[in-house]
Amino acid sequence: MKAYVKQNAGPGASLLDIPVPVPGEGEVLIKVKAAAICGTDIHIHDWNAWAQGAVKNLPLVMGHEFSGEVVELGPRVKKLKKGDYVSGETHIPCGNCYQCLNGLQHICANLLLPGVHRNGCFAEYIAYPEMCSVKIPESIAPEYGAVMEPLGVGVNAILEGNVGGANIAVVGCGPIGIGMISVADALGAAKIFALDISEYRLNLAGTCGAKHLINPTKSDPVQAIREVTGSVGVDAFFDASGNPEAIVQAFKFLRKGGHAHLVGLPSKPVSLDLVADVIFKEATVHGYHGRKMFQTWTAMMNLMDSGKVNLKPIVSHTMPLSSADEAFSLIRGGNVSKVVLLP
């Protein structure tokens, strides 16, 4: 089969012919219909400091966001059958640690990730655990099935945020931020503020339900949000940027008693004024690492199947797997949301 493989330590990857994997015990073989490129894949492709610490075994088939069809069953597969249409829950838990035994599999102490710790999905086929192969409705097109993994991170945060009737801000309008805006709009958020330094991404946010679009390089978000909310601030903000300065600023326009939901991954420590922005405000801070297994998936499938969530702005480009090099270059060039590879 064709696969996009990280062969050696250093920048880049290669399209190679490698054997089709054989599903092991409790695994299924999935014919990949679509695979999306994530920021994690960019890190591994660039071979930055994070990738050098996280990826221990090369060569490695890259990629972790996918949808596809089950074509073969390994030993002791109990529920899935050939022909099932699935998306991949990328947090592969051990099943035995404290978190797994207490309903927190998504933050397992021994978590494995495809495309990081084991071969991933930038290939024609992937062998994958049955328990993490989530059967999804046929109404969800493969390119959207492939982005359910990143969408689910935002859905988890929005569901925990109880956004119905609330004034919220989404900081960072990449694919996860865009997904959060679309889901928040579907669930009845009152005022949705979208913040990004890219006009391209702000325009996407507007098509997903954000009525207040703020470019921090052109106007002061704190002042703009306070003007619209009667000097109160937002009930909650959801950070999908990972930008330390943007996170600090978001705490300034969060109202007293508000909730901060942190999804983005800062590249350096964030220095907060805990007294003014958390303690005296009685702010509540939430962190998110993936989707709940599998409550988030159920809610996400229901929303997507109903057509209430606008997914079109999330996927901006589809390209053949053979054009993976071009796809990574396209992402670095900007004016792009999510790029999906089609094996």
Residue 159: partners with Cβ closer than 8 Å, 6 or more residues away: 187, 296, 299
Alpha-carbon span 211 to 213, nearest angstrom:
6
Determine whether 296 is an active site residue.
no
DSSP 275: I
Q: What is the DSSP string of 98-126?
A: HHHHTT-GGG-TT-B-BTTTB--SSBSEE
Q: Which of 40, 90, 229, 296 is catalytic?
A: 40
Q: For residue 217, with 0-12 CB atoms within 10 Å meaning exposed, 13-18 middle and 19 or more buried, which class applies? A: exposed
Q: Return the beta strands (E) in 118-180 as ranges.
A: 125-129, 133-135, 168-171
| Whole-angstrom distance, CA of residue 310 vs CA of residue 6 | 34
Distance, in Å, from the CA atom of 300 to the CA atom of 119, rounded to the nearest integer, reads 26
Q: Does residue 43 have an active-site annotation?
A: yes
CA pair distance 32, 91, nearest whole angstrom: 18
Q: How far apart are CA 198 and CA 222, in angstroms?
A: 18
| CB-count exposure of residue 304 (10 Å: 0-12, 13-18, 19+) | buried
Catalytic residue among 43, 117, 286, 317: 43
- Active-site residue set: 40, 43
